[in-house]
Amino acid sequence: MAKQNKKENIRKPSTGSSEDARRLLALALEDEKARREALSSLSSIAKTKQGRKETSARLDELGRGVLYGLLHVPDPKARKNTAVLLGALSDARDCDALIAAHQAEPMGYVRASIILALGNMGNGALAYLLSLRLDENSPVFQQEKHALSLALSKLSSIRHDFISLGSMREIALRTIPGFERDLYLEALQRGLSADITGAGEVTASTSDYHSLFMMRAFYEALIPIDFSLPLEASQIASSICKADIYGMLRAMHGCPGPFGYRVEIRGDMTHETRVKLARGIAAQINLAGLINSPSSYDAEMRIECGGALCSIYIKLHSYRDERFSYRVQDVPAAIMPPSAAALMLRLKSRMGGASRVLDPFCGSGTLLFERALAMPCRSLTGVDVSRHAIQAARANAQKGEFKAAFVHSDILRFRHSRPFDEIYSNMPFGHRSQSHSANIRLYKGFFEMLPSLLTESGFAALLTMEKRLFRECLASSPALAVVSEKGVETGNMLPSLFILQKER
């Protein structure tokens, strides 16, 4: 009968009240037979804010040391449940007791629970967890490893703050293929040591990472780690471990981490192969201070594959790239800001400091803003038939503090008092924005209007996927001449950039 009463007392529904905490703690401390289940029930009520508050308050009354003693009782399941309870309470005062229990604990599955509890203890547990060297021969090695990974994930911040490179490093800057020479020349003008290292790639040597972001015509910066490796998880993981990525990140951020990372595979392979390779690499990166955390990470471990070989890069996600922070709103089919910046870098020699600038299909205004950032001008005007696009462009102009006029109108009905010196546009493609049949009317009307939009010495830089339609309309416009045509790779598409001027 007494045994039955004890079970009923433990299993009595818990509301997280002070009385529940008092009752269950008494059972855990005073009754060995009821201890396991009482501790488990306490852990359940400690998952709620009220239950955690009441349980912790009752422990403070008794002295938290009474619970610490249960971390060393003969029953391993009771020790495990005590660790689980302390983890649920998430009180940093319990950190030292959990560390001492972990050091004394002979059972692997109990150690795993203590490690998980330490993950809720705040920064006080960080140094200890980072110093742990798990026994790979233990039958519960994988369980402990998983627990350590989860604990460190809880302790890692969403993002650490990048401070500096710390030393001279090579940085691969990626731009639009075919525009690498423009970026290379700008790097030299800024006093950087640089080389063209591939289509769309310039590698610069610097100790000042921030200085690279004075340039706008690249879309990402990568730190090279290794090249021409066999495309095998073990080889890639080994190279990453030898490169001391943790030491690199620690120096760049001025703190011990831990640092979250994700493995990103680029190359021609099936999704299943990609996932398997990424998981295989992460499983073999056994570096203290680095956590495989695909949802929250400081660095991306980029694996770029070509055939049976691959290269490894690190991309820092902890660096706050503010170059394009003006773009707070977007529209479908909009050009990416780094691509727009690359186009402006290429066209800079044609620009004038007193130019009147127009984008007849302005979207969210990106081309106009990058034009203004490339060189001052007299005025910026954007026209778009979409009210949403005009609203987005105005919001972006306000954020970036650009002086620009945006007109909600079909360009074919647009009225202007004076022609423009420079016209830039990412013209409707028909692939993402509207149909080809609609573009036929639009392009035909626009080409009839274009000569009147341009000054005698002005030019138009027009990007389009409708190349055949563009050429057909151009052929019917004898007042316009093609200065140049160049294929451009942007956003996984291959439009052409046409530079036009009035026939002279």
Q: What is the pLDDT of residues 318-364, one digit of tens each?
A: 999 999 999 999 998 889 999 999 999 999 999 999 999 999 999 99
Torsion of CA 154, 156, 159, 160, to 10 degrees: 160
The larger pLDDT score, comparing residue 1 to residue 93, is at 93
CATH architecture of 169-316: 2-Layer Sandwich (3.30)
Write the burial class of residue 361 (CB in 10 Å: 0-12 exposed, 13-18 middle, 19+ buried): buried
Q: What is the mean pLDDT of residues 480-496?
A: 85
Q: What is the mean pLDDT of residues 483-488?
A: 90
CB of 74 closer than 8 Å to CB of 59: no
Structure confidence at residue 73 (pLDDT): 94
Whole-angstrom CA distances from 487 to 32, 177, 186 are 78, 10, 21
Q: Which residue, 408, 300, 422, is CA-closest to 357?
A: 422
Is the CATH number 1.10.287.40 carried by domain 2-155? Answer: no
Whole-angstrom CA distances from 99 to 13, 154, 376, 403, 439 are 33, 17, 62, 60, 69
Share of the chain above pLDDT 90, in %: 70
Structure confidence at residue 397 (pLDDT): 98
Res 375 pLDDT > 70: yes
3-state SS, 35-102, equals HHHHHHHHHHHCCCHHHHHHHHHHHHHHCCHHHHHHHHCCCHHHHHHHHHHHHHHCCHHHHHHHHHHH
Q: What is the pLDDT of residues 181-191, one digit of tens each?
A: 999 999 999 99
Q: Which residue, 326, 449, 436, is CA-closest to 383?
A: 449
**Do strands 259-266 and 356-359 pair parallel, antiparallel, or not at all (unpaired)?**
unpaired
Mean predicted lDDT score pLDDT of the chain: 90
* Least confident interval from 266-270, 297-301, 330-334, 452-456: 330-334
Structure confidence at residue 159 (pLDDT): 64
Domain at 337-502, CATH from 1.10.3720.10, 3.40.50.150, 3.30.1380.10, 3.90.180.10: 3.40.50.150
Per the DSSP assignment, residues forming a β-bridge with 266 are 304
Q: Are 2-155 and 337-502 the same fold in CATH?
A: no
Res 10 pLDDT > 60: no
CB of 83 closer than 8 Å to CB of 61: no
Domain boundaries, given as residue ranges, for the chain: 2-155, 169-316, 337-502
